[in-house]
Chain A
Amino acid sequence: MLIFAIARVIPGDPARIALGPNATAEQVENLRLRLHLDQPLSVQYGHFIADLAQGDLGVSLYTNRPVTQDIAQFLPATLELIIVAGLMMILIGLPLGVISARYRGSWADSTIRIFTLLGVSAPSFVWAVILMLLFAYFLPLFPIAGRLADSMTVPTVTGFLLIDTLLAGNIKAFGNAAWHLVLPAFALALSGIGQAARLTRSNMVETYDKPYIEMAESYGFPEGRIARRYAFRPSLIPSLTIIGLDFAAMLGNAFLVEAVFAWPGLSRYGVAVILRKDLNAIVGTVLIISALFLIVNIVVDFLIAMINPRIRLSQRAQ
């Protein structure tokens, strides 16, 4: 409802913008009628909800296609970027935190702490620009923009290039797509990596002072095992919460990173439709992002409940 309201109060007549300056007053009036724009806001809202319930987000005035179809085209690119960034966050951030905590006070710990501090101290679009300049422009190790080399094409099945290239059996294109993903995903993940690592470290260092660690040491359990099962596992619960929040925040940050790397994702679409005051498309885009946000949060809560026996058991008892 909030989304709906915000989209309506942006100044400007959507029908006018959609049809361009050359349209006649009659054409504009027709479109307004079709979109129920002539009716009071409360009635407009009623139409909107009724359509939404049928999975219909209306037609985009910009592309002239159903909004759902537009989103289905642009969303996979964004999701692919975010999922890869999320995996980086988990697969790089958590191990860095664990190493840092296990060898606390060592040079490895100091190096990691400096690196992660850098990661959290600048927003992802700044990192996007820096990484792009360093590793795509000055040192052309990675492609500067886009998802796939222009010379390559793969049939669209899922929209996820990593999956589609594999489905097509085109390993070369898969490598190319992955190569294109590295910089934008890393830029997007950096602050999350930093936060996950720093939080994991501080939680684990705290856990290392717990009596059950001393007990594990006094029983001579192997050090690596103590790090994993005794210090890391109980510290994972708060880390996971932060990772979930960061993951959700990436949905927003992806907008700017996509812009920097000319990534043909939902943000490109979102910016374009906002500029054109394409009501249905704006509402649809924001709705999808909110829905993803919700889903991520639910999944994280679920994961936390799964690894925390206290929550798991209290739920079962109810």
Chain B
Amino acid sequence: MPDADPDADLMLRFQGGDETAYAELVRRFQGRIVSLAYRYLGSSADAEDLAQEVFLRIYRARETYEPRARFSTWVHRITVNVSLNLIRGRKVRRHLNAAMPRSDGGDGGAVDFEDAGVVAPGDKVEKDELAQVLREILDGLPERQRIAILLNKYQGLSYEETAEAMEMSLSATKSLLTRARVKIKEQLEPYLTTGRAPERRDSSTRDS
């Protein structure tokens, strides 16, 4: 029997017909999942859409849910699936659009999940230059490495929990995490060893 898991208890209450327990779960996890989505996508534009999709899947799982893993691990597993599917869906849609050229401007409204990686106008500027460099490094990682490192370092999941969320073996997860950490370290090393903020193309426009 695992440690007490109040989130799993809420899910079981929801399973028993208590809709307020579902709202409580969304309330408890919204910050974590929206932030993870934001970090995964590299932009705030679609972060809430991705998070909403995660919560809708939790809703749909109402009848089939079984508390086998910690609830938070299970939520992260869903988040991983939604995130990776999102990238796949984007590729398919880009393919569709390329195959069928559109006529003129009449773009019938916003299509969700289009082109992440573009900073939305409302995005808060990352004040810390180092954080900006790190964001670019993360964006450059392969999808699975990026999500694994975010689960482990950003969400604070253990190796074991990360492996469960990624549905991978522990050793494969370790190797994924190690590769990501080495890349991040190598690219940050110049900034970490000189102890000064990185020089950036646009840095001259900032101070004066």
Our verdict on whether A and B bind, yes or no, reads no
Give the interface of A toward B (CB within 8 A): none
Give the interface of B toward A (CB within 8 A): none
